[in-house]
Amino acid sequence: MKIRQAKETIKRLIAKYNVTLISVGNGTASRESEKVIAELISEIPERKVQYVIVSEAGASVYSASVLATEEFPNFDVGQRSAASIARRLQDPLAELVKIDPKSIGVGQYQHDMNQKKLGEKLEGVVESCVNNVGVDLNTASFSLLEYVSGVTKKTAKSIVAWREENGRFTDRRQLLKVSGLGPKAFEQCAGFLRIRGGSNPLDMTGVHPESYAAAGKLLEKLGFSGEDIKGAKITGATALLRDKKTLESLAADFGVGEETLSDIAKELEKPGRDPRSDMPKPVLRSDVLEMKDLKPGMILKGTVRNVIDFGAFVDIGVHQDGLVHISQLSGSRFVNHPLDVVSVGDIVDVKVLEVDEERGRISLTMKLEEPSDKHKKKEEKTEGGRNRQGGGGQNRNQNRNQNGASKADSNQRERKGQNPGRKNTGNGKGAAKSAPKNGELDLSQLLNKWH
């Protein structure tokens, strides 16, 4: 009864907000929730709704935090967790920075390590990720802004406060008006903060304001203008700089370093590029599998949920995660540790090896090529080599046979005294030399028999 009521509520929300994607947490009762959602989706095929399993790591920590209370003052803990799980699907980086990195779960031995050093290392990784991706200055929360190089927690809150009071930023130089953000901090952070639809098209790229003059000269050299950046119409910049002499010459003319000029060219060709777009897309599902549906040999796409010393657990959409043993992670090289091949969150293709329904175990492999296929390839390669040598081999065999036949005829003539190339002494010595001894094989007779 309650499940039916829940389905009706979700259907109303889907229709009201035109929902096309549902985020399902992988925590407690995840599989039961997944089954309900899958059934619901099958009841409304015209809506074309899909769902994704999302990691709940650290969601409970966030929901009980002061930040979550400030963001959702009218929500209870469960509703805050649900909002966090949904946001992780929209923009994982922006949401995960709100959680202490140690609470996300970074390995089975994380509690045995020096917590101070671990925290510093994880903070550095998060900061590196944020700066590499870049931050939209007009939409980022202070939680995300504080990880930008040169921006402190206090400065991040000041940026958000300035934005709320004065409206959106239209130029990077406006950052200098923010309380507590001086020229030095601006120099550090400006290149990592993006402004879309601003007064200067270069503000949406990773080009630092100090290099705007060089970027303008490069655009002029290529025959483009600043407006072409907005439409991503600029081409040929990186191709032009592939020549070492050209790169050196232009860098000297523009007054910048060679690496800086190469970076400017890349940014101009792909303004506002998000490096995460090159990563595998999440696995979208519309139905749910059961263990009885799995058959050995099936190839499925799954998400790595956990990595341990002896293998990796992969979510393939059934109630139980499957295990890829360390010996099955790669068919092309020796794997010293599973983390050398996979990490949590990776999207991988796996093949079902064995299903044990009684014990709830699924054995998987990432070696998708059948052993028989490898043998076939080897046989084809060997056969090809034989075929290439076939003509010469046949000729050589024919020559051998012909030579053998000639030699046999010669031996026969010698025994009969008809060989003109050898004198017949009349004492039988010639015949004695040609005749086989007792127990020896008469090669001439065999060859005559074959021919």
CA distance 268 to 221: 13
CA distances 303 to 161, 197, 272, 307, 342, Å, are: 39, 36, 28, 11, 10
Q: Nearest 5°: phi and psi at 248?
A: -60, -45
What pLDDT does residue 104 have?
73
> How does pLDDT run across 36-82, given as a tens digit for each residue?
998 899 899 888 899 988 888 888 888 989 989 988 999 999 999 99
Single out the residue of 128, 105, 26, 122 nearest to residue 307, CA to CA.
105
pLDDT of residue 428: 41
Distance of CA 217 to the CA centre of its chain: 37
Listed as ranges, residues in the chain with pLDDT below 50 are 372-375, 378, 388-402, 404-408, 410-441, 443, 446-447, 449-451
CA distances (Å), origin 74, targets 67, 78, 80, 284, 367: 13, 12, 9, 31, 50
Domain spans in the chain, listed from the N-terminal domain onward: 1-110, 291-368, 372-450
Domain 1-110 matching CATH 3.30.420.140: the answer reads yes
Q: In this predicted model, what pLDDT tens digit does every residue of 191-231 receive, in sequence order?
A: 999 998 888 989 999 899 999 999 999 998 888 888 888 87
Q: pTM of the prediction?
A: 0.64
- Picking from 3, 176, 195, 109, the residue whose alpha carbon sits closest to that of residue 159 is 176
Whole-angstrom distance, CA of residue 429 vs CA of residue 446: 23
* pLDDT at res. 420: 42
How would DSSP label each residue in 57-105? TTHHHHHTSHHHHHH-TT--HHHHHHHHHHHHHH-HHHHHTTS-GGGS-
Under 8 Å CB-to-CB from 210, ≥6 apart: which residues? Answer: 187
Q: Which CATH number fits domain 291-368: 3.40.50.150, 2.40.50.140, 1.10.10.10, 3.40.50.2300?
A: 2.40.50.140
Query: How far is Cα 108 from Cα 308, in angstroms, rounded to an integer?
Result: 8
